[in-house]
Amino acid sequence: MKLETNNWETIIGLEVHAQLSTVSKIFCGCATRFGDEPNSNTCPVCLGLPGALPVLNWRAVELGARAALALGLHINERSIFARKNYFYPDLPKGYQISQFDQPFSANGTLEIMTAERDEAGHARDWKPMTVGITRLHLEEDAGKNVHEGMPDVDRFSYVDLNRSGVPLAEIVTEPDFRSSWEAYDYVNHVRRALQWVGASDADMEKGNLRCEANVSVRRKGDPIFGTKVELKNLNSVRFMQKAIEFEVERHIKTLEAGGHLVQETLLWDERLNETRPMRSKEEAHDYRYFPEPDLPPLVVTSEFIDAVRTSMPELPGPRAARFSEQYGLSYADASQLTAERSLADYYEAAVEASGGNARSTANWVRSELLRELENAGLSADKSPVAPAELGALVSMIDEGKISGKQGKDVLVEMFSTGKSAAAVIEERGLVQVSDTGEIDRVIDEVIAGNPNQLEQYRSGKEALFGFFVGQVMKASKGKANPKVVNERLREKLKS
Ligand SMILES: [Zn+2]
């Protein structure tokens, strides 16, 4: 049965939890390092032992401010930490220190770019979209229950409290998204912005960026929201997009068939490509919030906010716009080159080294370099080919020292050996001959050696031009600059 999706509207709201990149936890001095021995980074504060008192790590506030400013959000000069009370084994205190009615930032908007996708998932027609940001607040993370990789896991649950007290920024949107791809583009925007300013590593595989989606559907024109489900444990932006898509289809199918939906929390099963209900934590969400009595109100001055703002790099959106303007790149190219800050820095350094050939450098970075980086699993700042070397290669191609085709092989070798462009070209004896005197000499030889073809050509058989080009290239062992060969040959064959 083909679903009549056109009659339905999808409503999605998102919550992103981003770990702020501090060295120590938000209310104690324990390390935030990922992958350490379970429960090795703990102390009375983050274990919730009686009498232990939290002390705010100011670095978490700075990074929270960077996160807010990177997203264009306003920062409240006064916010309040609050206790969110609930019982769960990964939360030894019985409450999480978070923020409630007076958060760090509230009622913001964020401009993102979003695009519909074709069947293959390729974007078409990027357009701006405004997303309402309900709030951005600071909080501590809980610990982690472990159900795998330990002895007797069928009889025991384990808990690792290394993550307990790690600083998070929680960013909550209004239910403004109307498709899974809008949600996808939003999370990627947030992830890039936070990485860009160094607020968070935002690595979903390490769990330092997590997202949850609230999804519902309603008939078009219906003023009331439908029953919503909450999607959790989404380990990648792509899984989130798939999970939303799966739920939207399930909702529409169920409602079209006259069925009922239940409000529930679901997990995405990436193996089966479907959602499944999560074991319920606790049903009634009454967190009995109250102001945290052990911490004073969080006060930041406008001078502090200004200082953070001035310390920030040029943000990805403005930088992509500048790339378009200054380097004459399309929006798609400019946004690809600003996908990560290290890549944008790389590109600009390479343009300079190329002698200002921005377009050609963009092509080399986007196609050849990115492919090598991707194969090697490296980011641009770890590239074995330094930006100055890529620029040098581009400029040698521009000058006709080697051909573009040779350049591709040279780049691959530079990447695998770390050698300079000049060294690889020298070693391979690739230097292209552009000297007209030398090329003329070869052409004269070729013409003298092929009198029959010359006569045929001059009597009108112009297809033989290609034959002469081939002979000259062969005689020069492929080193003659084809452009110069073409020009000189045309000239010489005339007379
Ligand atoms: Zn601690």
Share of the chain above pLDDT 70, in %: 98
Q: Distance, CA 43 to ligand 1 centroid (Å)?
A: 4
Q: Distance, CA 415 to ligand 1 centroid (Å)?
A: 44
- Contact yes or no for 169/211 (Cβ under 8 A): no
Q: Higher confidence at residue 407 or residue 432?
A: 407
Residue 160 has pLDDT above 70, yes or no: yes
- Tell me the mean pLDDT in the region 309-321: 93
Q: How many residues does the chain have?
A: 495
- Tell me the mean pLDDT in the region 398-407: 85
**What CA–CA distance (Å, rounded) separates 61 from 354?**
41
Residue 60 has pLDDT above 80, yes or no: yes
Q: How far is CA 413 from CA 84, 363, 386, in A?
A: 57, 18, 13
Q: Distance, CA 197 to ligand 1 centroid (Å)?
A: 26
Q: Output the six-digit token pair for 479.
A: 């080193």
**What CA–CA distance (Å, rounded) separates 253 from 217?**
11
Alpha helices in 114-207 (DSSP H): 180-196
- Tell me the mean pLDDT in the region 126-144: 96
Residue 438 has pLDDT above 90, yes or no: no
Q: Distance, CA 344 to ligand 1 centroid (Å)?
A: 37
Q: Distance, CA 126 to ligand 1 centroid (Å)?
A: 45
Angle subtended by helix axes 180-196 and 316-327, to nearest 10: 90
What is the number of other CB atoms lying within 10 angstroms of the CB of residue 126? 15
Q: Which amino acid, one-letter code, is at 77? A: E
Category of 121 on φ-ψ map: left (φ > 0), alpha (ψ -120 to 50) or beta: left
Banded pLDDT at 279 (limits 50, 70, 90): low
Q: Distance, CA 297 to ligand 1 centroid (Å)?
A: 21
Q: Distance, CA 160 to ligand 1 centroid (Å)?
A: 13
Q: Distance, CA 199 to ligand 1 centroid (Å)?
A: 21
Residue 123 pLDDT:
84
Q: Distance, CA 265 to ligand 1 centroid (Å)?
A: 31
Q: Distance, CA 95 to ligand 1 centroid (Å)?
A: 15
Q: Give the model confidence (pLDDT) of 64-106 as tens digits.
A: 999 999 999 999 999 999 999 998 999 999 999 999 999 999 9
Category of 6 on φ-ψ map: left (φ > 0), alpha (ψ -120 to 50) or beta: alpha
- Tell me the mean pLDDT in the region 38-53: 96
Residue 280 pLDDT:
59
Three-state DSSP string of 441-462: HHHHHHHHHCHHHHHHHHCCCH
**What CA–CA distance (Å, rounded) separates 433 from 405?**
15
375: CB partners within 8 A, 6+ apart = none
- Tell me the mean pLDDT in the region 221-248: 92
Q: Distance, CA 301 to ligand 1 centroid (Å)?
A: 28
Category of 221 on φ-ψ map: left (φ > 0), alpha (ψ -120 to 50) or beta: left
- Tell me the mean pLDDT in the region 109-126: 88
Q: Give the model confidence (pLDDT) of 136-150 as tens digits.
A: 999 999 999 988 888
Q: Distance, CA 15 to ligand 1 centroid (Å)?
A: 26
Q: Distance, CA 165 to ligand 1 centroid (Å)?
A: 7
**In 3-state terms, what secondary structure has residue 178?**
coil
Q: Distance, CA 117 to ligand 1 centroid (Å)?
A: 45
Q: Output the six-digit token pair for 223.
A: 């003023």
User: b vs e for 468-490, b when ≥16 Cβ sit within 10 Å of the residue's Cβ?
Assistant: bbebbbebbeebbbbebbeebbe
- Tell me the mean pLDDT in the region 18-34: 97
For residue 19, the cross-strand partners are: 168
Q: Distance, CA 49 to ligand 1 centroid (Å)?
A: 10
Q: Distance, CA 302 to ligand 1 centroid (Å)?
A: 31
- Tell me the mean pLDDT in the region 440-468: 90
Q: Distance, CA 37 to ligand 1 centroid (Å)?
A: 15
Residue 1 has pLDDT above 60, yes or no: no
Q: How far is CA 351 from CA 323, 355, 365, 395, 404, in A?
A: 11, 7, 10, 10, 17
Residue 98 pLDDT:
98
Closest CA to 65 of 173, 208, 194, 163: 194
Q: Distance, CA 25 to ligand 1 centroid (Å)?
A: 7
Quote the mean pLDDT of the chain: 92
Banded pLDDT at 476 (limits 50, 70, 90): confident
pTM of the model: 0.82
- Tell me the mean pLDDT in the region 166-195: 96
Q: Distance, CA 86 to ligand 1 centroid (Å)?
A: 20
For residue 96, the cross-strand partners are: 84
